[in-house]
């Protein structure tokens, strides 16, 4: 079962999203603060994060950036203003998709499913081999002469370049 973390300070919205996601077969956790949400995202394993932009403690941009430094986990950004969508796109914030409030919950669900599907396809990508070095795209695992080394997302992307 896929695990989803909702970081959203408007509790009614968070609960609504949770209900519908659970009905669609997902396991869902909620965090109502930005700083706590980041902590949860870092310390537990999730398959996807639904991230509100304006949050107490820490905003969605910062959270997205920090998660991206450590983890290769899909993030869907939720924003209240259409002007913020341009910002989300323009900043290249690292979000995999974004939804503008107010949105239909079904729209969110279909985007969650689409992003997870895309992720699964990427997981099937072969392990790259360059000479004696093997690069595992999904696990960010580098193997040289049988010795394994797990890298952070950033380290891996740099090495791949
Ligand atoms: Ca908010």
Instruction: Supply the pLDDT for residue 6.
Output: 98
Contact indicator for 95, 76 with CB cutoff of 8 Å: yes
Determine the distance separating the centroid of ligand 1 and the alpha carbon of 125, expressed in angstroms: 36
Q: How confident is the model over 84-120, as pLDDT tens digits? A: 666 666 556 678 888 887 778 889 999 999 999 988 7
State the pTM of this model: 0.74
Neighbours of ion ligand 1 (CB under 5 A): 9, 52, 54
User: What single-letter DSSP state applies at residue 109?
Assistant: H
Q: Is the dihedral of CA 9, 13, 18, 19 positive or negative?
A: positive
Q: How confident is the model over 50-94, as pLDDT tens digits? A: 999 899 999 998 999 999 899 989 999 888 766 666 666 655 667
Determine the distance separating the centroid of ligand 1 and the alpha carbon of 121, expressed in angstroms: 32
């Amino acid at each position: 079962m896929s695990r989803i973390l909702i970081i959203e300070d408007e509790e009614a919205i968070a609960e609504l999203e949770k209900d519908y996601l659970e009905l669609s077969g997902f396991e869902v956790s909620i965090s109502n603060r930005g700083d706590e949400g980041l902590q949860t995202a870092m310390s537990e394993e999730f398959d996807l994060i639904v991230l509100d932009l304006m949050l107490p403690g820490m905003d969605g941009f910062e959270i997205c950036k920090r998660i991206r430094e450590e983890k290769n986990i899909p993030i869907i950004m939720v924003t209240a203003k259409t002007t913020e969508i341009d910002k989300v796109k323009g900043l290249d914030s690292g979000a995999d998709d974004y939804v503008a409030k107010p949105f239909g919950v079904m729209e969110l669900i279909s985007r969650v499913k689409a992003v997870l599907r895309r992720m699964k396809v990427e997981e099937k990508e072969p392990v790259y081999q360059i000479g004696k070095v093997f690069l595992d795209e999904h696990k960010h695992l580098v193997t040289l002469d049988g010795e394994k080394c797990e890298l952070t997302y950033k380290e891996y992307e740099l090495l791949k370049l």
